[in-house]
Structure 1
Amino acid sequence: MTCLKPKHLQKGDTVGVIAPASPPNLENLERGIQFLIGLGLNVKKGKSVEKINGYLAGTDLERLDDLHGMFLDKEVKAIICACGGYGTGRIAANIDYEIIRNNPKILWGYSDITFLHTAIRQETGLVTFHGPMLGSDIGKVDTHPLSKERFLQLFSPAKLTYTEEISPLEVLVEGDVSGPLIGGNLSLLVSSLGTRFEVDTKEKLLLIEDVNEEPRAIDRMLNQLYMSGKLEEASGILIGDFCDCLPKRDLSLTLDEIIDYYVKLANKPAIKGLQIGHCNPHIAVPFGVQATLNTTEKRLIVDSGIK
């Protein structure tokens, strides 16, 4: 499918804020909104952002209406997610992807938003952005400046060059490879398997990250990706942050042992240590654009996600 890049932002533009999964921390959300205002943007909140329906930010229909409404709203130039949690998979089958295809604009988020990244890219070709969210990241008082700085990629087309100047990197499998960058949260990628939105990894650079999962659970999910052929079909594998993925039992393999095992089974060029995921700083990247991994130089180059 043709790569569809959204238009860049300008100061004075309006951005929409939605909560397509769980309800955000409202105090953090307000600080996150003030950050956007500080970038020269106007902010329009979705109707269900402050609603609570158990672990969901309103009903499925309310969250779906917010998503559709922001894409249809001609005034809104970008859609920024308030937080993740759980719930995007519940609305994916009912999204009108023609609305998105006919009104391409920036969509930004991560974690549970991974399901939206995958579904929207594969149904429409739209480039989306895997980046820190307002209520769960940007609105926290200790947010790293690098996390905030990566929002600037939305204003002017620029490639990202990720090297060890950002974080230490470890080569797991050597090789130079290119392909569209895709992926996100491991749990959500695995949950797409067997559905209409099953993640397509063929000849793509696959990024994975996760949070609060025991090594045994990471093992199970990576094994499922491996047995389904998703790791071997990828052109390369990028290991992001696995935050607090610690064993809760005495007998356990380490997280590094598990990741190394499956990556080496797949035998595709791979690098570990990227500060992408549930981490601080969190380096935001566009999904669906071309990227190049050079393990000799420990360098990842990602094309701009906007036009």
Structure 2
Amino acid sequence: MTMKPNRLKKGDTVAVIAPASPPNKENLKRGLKFVEDLGLNYKLGKSLYTEYGYLAGNDEERLADLHEMFLDDDVKGIICAGGGYGTARIASAIDYDVIKNNPKIFWGYSDITFLHTAIRQQTGLVTFHGPMLASDIGKEGANQISKDTFQQLFTPAELNYSTELSQIEELVPGSAEGSLVGGNLSLLSSSMGTPFEIDTEGNILLIEDINEEPRAVDRMLNQLYMAGKLQESAGIIVGDFNNCVPERELSLTLEEVIDHYIKLAGKPALKGFKIGHCSPHIGVPLGAAASMNTKEKTLFVESGIK
């Protein structure tokens, strides 16, 4: 059963945590100023500035921050500072009853994809795939459209993504309806064979990635295809694949790789969405009802809040 979190209002407190890698401190400082500009207060996770190799604290510390913020009645939403690596390490230790009994806004992307998938499939909570405070919003010259995408947390509104936002191309013709699921391709492929394996059946699958050579994208899409995940989906939305270029002379192009697997799957598919490691980056609610039409080149997603 799908659960939507309550909307935010001015004066609310949101938590800022780093369940993966430590964020860039200067960028995060600017990101926190953005939170204030939204009219929100913030509470920082205890391990937010901890550096444990490529992790923002050990697994127990990052897990404790996640639990604490869901349990804190004063916290109305949780925004991730950045991604990197590490959320899959804590997924099996999360008390999902804590989240189910204290549903609230949870926002992030990239490595946070593993948590989006785990939380949705264990609790039914709609979560948000969107730009983060240090890795996106806090960068100098951050895109205003990326900033504006946070407004969906305050006022329920359907997302109507069309060619007015970016150039969209039809890969496989058709229309589809289903819950929007997915996120970062690397994290989706790493969920395979785990208790948190992505469930695509009857859903609209979103994929995006960054800094992966076409051969790596090929490997991950082939894994999802062989596992039936592409074919089981109702439709496929291809987000941004930033800097996914070959480092060797002999290579297929990214377009050749994506087109090959999407057409093999044979499900309605569109590409060209500014969703992922890009600027602007449009935030979307995962788990919310969605529909797509390749002839009209549109994606509709219902509001993720109540």
What CA deviation, in whole Å up to 9, does each residue of 1:58-89 have, x standing for no partner?
A: 00000000000000000000000000000000
Query: Which residue is equivalent to 1:266?
Result: 265
Query: Which residue is equivalent to 2:20?
Result: 21
Taking only aligned residues, the RMSD between alpha carbons, in angstroms, comes to: 0.3
Distance 1:179 1:114 in 2: 19
Query: Which residue is equivalent to 1:85?
Result: 84
Q: In the alignment, residue 295 of structure 1 is paired with which amino acid? A: T
Query: Which residue is equivalent to 1:47?
Result: 46
Query: Which residue is equivalent to 1:257?
Result: 256
After superposition, residues 28-177 of structure 1 pair within 5 angstroms as: 28-177=27-176
Distance 1:101 1:30 in 2: 31
> How many residues are treated as equivalent by the alignment?
306
Distance 1:185 1:101 in 2: 24
Q: In the alignment, residue 213 of structure 1 is paired with which amino acid? A: E
How far the C-alpha of 1:143 sits from its partner, in A, is: 1.1
Distance 1:295 1:255 in 2: 21
TM-score, structure 2 normalization: 1.00
Deviant stretches of 4+, over 3 Å: none
After superposition, residues 219-234 of structure 1 pair within 5 angstroms as: 219-234=218-233
How far the C-alpha of 1:42 sits from its partner, in A, is: 0.2
What CA deviation, in whole Å up to 9, does each residue of 1:138-157 have, x standing for no partner?
A: 00112111100010000010
Counterpart of 1:94 in 2: which secondary structure? Answer: coil
Q: What residue ranges of structure 2 are gaps of 5+ in the alignment?
A: none
TM-score, structure 1 normalization: 0.99
Query: Which residue is equivalent to 2:199?
Result: 200
Distance 1:30 1:11 in 2: 20
Query: Which residue is equivalent to 1:11?
Result: 10
Distance 2:96 2:35 in 1: 27
What CA deviation, in whole Å up to 9, does each residue of 1:227-273 have, x standing for no partner?
A: 00000000000000000001000100000000000000000000000
